[in-house]
C-alpha cells in the first residue's frame, strides 16, 4: 500500500516531498563548511553544534511528516482488529492476567 492518503492528495502523494526532504538532509548532514569556524551563536554555542541542533529539529520534522502523510494504513488496520485470543478468553485476557 502506498500510503494512508490522509493528506487529501491521494495515497502516497506526500511520499515524493518526504523523500526530497530526506535527500536534502542527507546532502547537508556533514557540515564541513563549519569545521574551522570558531563563531559562537548566542555567545556560548559553537556554530557547528548549533547547526546540528537545527539539523536534529529538521530530522524530527521529517519523521513527523512521514508519520502524518505517508504512514502505511494497513499497519493500523491490523492493530485495530480484535485479537483472536482476547475474544476467546473474554474481557481482560491478554492484559497480563494469568488464567489457570
Residue 67 in any domain: the answer is yes
Residue 63 in any domain: the answer is yes
Residue 2 in any domain: the answer is no
Q: pLDDT digits over 89-98, tens only? A: 555 555 555 5
Q: Quick one: pLDDT band at residue 79, thresholds 50, 70, 90?
A: confident
Q: pLDDT digits over 4-19, tens only? A: 444 444 456 678 888 8
Q: pLDDT digits over 24-76, tens only? A: 999 988 888 888 889 999 999 999 899 999 999 999 999 998 888 877 777 77
Q: What is the pTM of this model?
A: 0.60
For residue 85, pLDDT over 80 is answered with no
Residue 51 in any domain: the answer is yes
33 secondary structure, DSSP code:
G
What total of structural domains would you count in the chain?
1
Identify the residue with better confidence: 83 or 57.
Answer: 57
Residue 29 in any domain: the answer is yes
Residue 55 in any domain: the answer is yes
Q: Which domain holds residue 85?
A: 15-89
Residue 69 in any domain: the answer is yes
Residue 5 in any domain: the answer is no
Please name which of 3, 13, 22 lies closest in space to residue 63, comparing C-alpha atoms.
22
Is the alpha carbon torsion for 9, 13, 14, 17 positive or negative?
A: negative
Amino acid at each position: 500500500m502506498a500510503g494512508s492518503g490522509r493528506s487529501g492528495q491521494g495515497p502516497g502523494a506526500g511520499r515524493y516531498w518526504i523523500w526530497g526532504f530526506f535527500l536534502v538532509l542527507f546532502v547537508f548532514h556533514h557540515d564541513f563548511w563549519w569545521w574551522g569556524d570558531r563563531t559562537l551563536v548566542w555567545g556560548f554555542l559553537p556554530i557547528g553544534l548549533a547547526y546540528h541542533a537545527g539539523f536534529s529539529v529538521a530530522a524530527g520534522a521529517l519523521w513527523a511528516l512521514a508519520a502524518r502523510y505517508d504512514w502505511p494504513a494497513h499497519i493500523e488496520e491490523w492493530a485495530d482488529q480484535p485479537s483472536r485470543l482476547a475474544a476467546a478468553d473474554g474481557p481482560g485476557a491478554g492484559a497480563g492476567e494469568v488464567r489457570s
